[in-house]
Amino acid sequence: MKSKAIGLITANYKTNVPCALSKRRPMAGLPFAGRYRLIDFPLSNMVNAGIRTVGMIVPQNYRSLLDHVGTGRDWMLDRKNGGLFILPGTVYGGTHEGFRFLLRDIIDNKAFLIRDTADYVVLSGSNMVVNFDLKAAIVAHEASGNTATIVCHRASAINDDTTALVTDGDTVTALKKGVKYGDLESLDYCIFNRDDLIDVLENFADADYLSLEEAAFKSEAHYKIGYWEFDGYAAGVFDAKSYYNRTMDIRKPEVYYALFNPDRTIFTKAHDAPPAKYFKGSVVRDSLVSAGCRISGTVRNSALGRGVIIEPGAVVTNSIVMQSCVVQSGARIENAIIDRYNLIPSGTEMRGTPDDILIKEKAEYV
Amino acid sequence: MSKKECIAMLLAGGQGSRLRELTKKNAKPAVSFGGKFRIIDFPLSNCANSGIDTVGVLTQYRPYLLHAYIGNGSAWDLDEPGAGVTTLSPYATQEGMREFAGTADAIYQNIDFIEAHDPETVLILSGDQLYRMDYAKMLAAHKAHKAGLTIAVMPVPWEDASRFGILLKDDDDRVVRFDEKPEKPESNLASMGIYIFDAKLLLDELRADAEDPRSSHDFGGDIIPKLLEEEKPVYVYEFQDFWRDVGTVASYHETSMDLLGDEPKFDLYTSEFPIMSNVSTRPPHYVGPEAVVEDCLVDNGARIFGTVKHSILSTDAYVGERAIVEDSVLLPGAVVKDGAHVVRAILGERAVVEENVKFGSVDTTKDTALAGDDVVIGRGE
Question: Is residue A102 one of the residues assigned to a domain?
Answer: yes
Q: What is the mean pLDDT of chain A?
A: 92
Q: B71 CA to chain A: closest CA distance, Å?
A: 14
| The three-state (H, E, C) secondary structure of A124-160, written as one string | ECCCEEECCCHHHHHHHHHHHCCCEEEEEEECCCCEE
Best mutation target, B36, B265, B300, B304, to test chain A (most A CBs within 10 A): B300
Amino acid at A337: I
Best mutation target, A249, A261, A264, A284, to test chain B (most B CBs within 10 A): A284
- The residue-averaged pLDDT of B345-362 equals 97
Question: Is residue A266 one of the residues assigned to a domain?
Answer: no
The sign of the CA dihedral A5, A11, A15, A19 is positive
The answer for residues whose C-beta is within 8 angstroms of residue A123's C-beta and 6 or more apart is A7, A8, A9, A10, A101, A106, A189, A190, A191, A192, A212
With an 8 Å Cβ cutoff, is B296 touching chain A?
yes
Domain boundary among A259, A285, A312: A259
- Give yes or no for residue A13 having a pLDDT over 90: no
Whether residues A285 and A252 share a domain: the answer is no
Residue of chain A nearest B45, judged by CA positions: A272
Whether residues A73 and A127 share a domain: the answer is yes
Q: What is the pLDDT of residues A281-318, one digit of tens each?
A: 999 999 999 999 999 999 999 999 999 999 999 999 99
Domain boundary among A259, A293, A313: A259
Lowest-pLDDT choice from A97-106, A170-179, A263-272, A321-330:
A97-106
Question: Is residue A365 one of the residues assigned to a domain?
Answer: no
Lowest-pLDDT choice from A55-59, A101-105, A333-337, B330-334:
A101-105
Is A286 in Cβ contact with B287 (below 8 Å)? yes
With an 8 Å Cβ cutoff, is B198 touching chain A?
no
CA–CA separation, A260 and A270 (whole Å): 16
- Give yes or no for residue B2 having a pLDDT over 60: no
**Which of B268, B291, B295 minimises the CB distance to A274?**
B268
With an 8 Å Cβ cutoff, is B294 touching chain A?
yes
- The confidence score (pLDDT) of residue B359 equals 97
Whether residues A298 and A247 share a domain: the answer is no
Q: What is the pLDDT of residues B18-48, one digit of tens each?
A: 889 999 988 999 999 999 999 999 999 999 9
Question: Is residue A268 one of the residues assigned to a domain?
Answer: no
Q: How many CB atoms lie within 10 A of CB A133?
A: 16
**Which of B275, B287, B294 minimises the CB distance to A285?**
B287
Whether residues A163 and A121 share a domain: the answer is yes
The A-side interface with B (CB below 8 A) comprises 33-36, 74, 250-251, 253, 256, 259-260, 265-268, 270-272, 274-282, 284-292, 294, 303-304
- The confidence score (pLDDT) of residue B106 equals 95
pLDDT band (50, 70, 90) for residue A280: very high
The domain containing residue A339 runs over which residues? 277-360
The DSSP code for A353 is B
Residue of chain A nearest B296, judged by CA positions: A278
- The confidence score (pLDDT) of residue B219 equals 94
With an 8 Å Cβ cutoff, is B5 touching chain A?
no
Question: Is residue A366 one of the residues assigned to a domain?
Answer: no
Burial of B176 (0-12, 13-18, 19+ CB in 10 A): exposed
Whether residues A247 and A356 share a domain: the answer is no
Whether residues A187 and A232 share a domain: the answer is yes
Question: Is residue A270 one of the residues assigned to a domain?
Answer: no
CA–CA separation, B248 and B174 (whole Å): 31
Lowest-pLDDT choice from A20-34, A277-291, B163-177, B204-218:
A20-34
CA–CA separation, B313 and B33 (whole Å): 10
Is B36 in Cβ contact with A274 (below 8 Å)? yes
Q: A261 CA to chain B: closest CA distance, Å?
A: 10
Residues of chain B neighbouring A270 (CB-CB closer than 8 A): 75, 279, 281
Whether residues A146 and A185 share a domain: the answer is yes
Is B288 in Cβ contact with A285 (below 8 Å)? yes
Residues A54, A6 contacting (CB under 8 angstroms): yes
Is B75 in Cβ contact with A271 (below 8 Å)? no
Q: How far is CA B264 from the centre of its chain?
A: 19
Residues of chain B neighbouring A272 (CB-CB closer than 8 A): 274-277, 279
CA–CA separation, B231 and B250 (whole Å): 38
Q: What is the pLDDT of residues B180-203, one digit of tens each?
A: 889 999 999 999 999 999 999 999
3 state SS of B76: helix
Is B274 in Cβ contact with A275 (below 8 Å)? no
**Which of A275, A277, A284 minimises the CB distance to B287?**
A284
- Give yes or no for residue A366 having a pLDDT over 70: no
Whether residues A225 and A294 share a domain: the answer is no
**Where would I find the H helices in chain A?**
40-48, 63-69, 91-95, 103-107, 110-115, 134-144, 194-203, 212-218, 240-249, 253-259
- Give yes or no for residue B115 having a pLDDT over 90: yes
- Give yes or no for residue B314 having a pLDDT over 70: yes
The DSSP code for B219 is I
- The confidence score (pLDDT) of residue B3 equals 67
Q: What is the pLDDT of residues A178-206, one digit of tens each?
A: 999 999 999 999 999 999 999 999 988 88
- Give yes or no for residue B119 having a pLDDT over 70: yes
Residue B345 or B14, more confident: B345
Question: Is residue A28 one of the residues assigned to a domain?
Answer: yes
Question: Domains in chain A: how many in total?
Answer: 2
- The confidence score (pLDDT) of residue B1 equals 40
- The residue-averaged pLDDT of A207-231 equals 85
Whether residues A253 and A297 share a domain: the answer is no
- The residue-averaged pLDDT of B287-310 equals 98
What's the CATH number where A339 sits?
2.160.10.10
| R_g of chain B, CA atoms, integer Å | 22
- The confidence score (pLDDT) of residue A365 equals 62
CA–CA separation, A288 and B379 (whole Å): 33
Question: Is residue A354 one of the residues assigned to a domain?
Answer: yes
- The confidence score (pLDDT) of residue B15 equals 80
Whether residues A255 and A290 share a domain: the answer is no
Residues of chain B neighbouring A261 (CB-CB closer than 8 A): none
With an 8 Å Cβ cutoff, is B265 touching chain A?
no
Amino acid at A73: R
What's the CATH number where A105 sits?
3.90.550.10
**Which of B277, B284, B314 minimises the CB distance to A290?**
B284
Residues A313, A335 contacting (CB under 8 angstroms): no
DSSP-assigned letters across all residues of B143-204: HHTT-SEEEEEEE--GGGGGGSEEEEE-TTSBEEEEEES-SS-S--EEEEEEEEEEHHHHHH
Domain boundary among A224, A259, A294: A259
Is A272 in Cβ contact with B284 (below 8 Å)? no
Q: What is the pLDDT of residues A122-145, one digit of tens each?
A: 999 999 999 999 999 999 999 999
Whether residues A219 and A252 share a domain: the answer is yes
Q: What is the mean pLDDT of chain B?
A: 94
Whether residues A240 and A288 share a domain: the answer is no
Residue of chain B nearest A40, judged by CA positions: B281
Greatest Cα-to-Cα distance within chain A, rounded to the nearest angstrom: 69
CA–CA separation, A340 and A322 (whole Å): 5
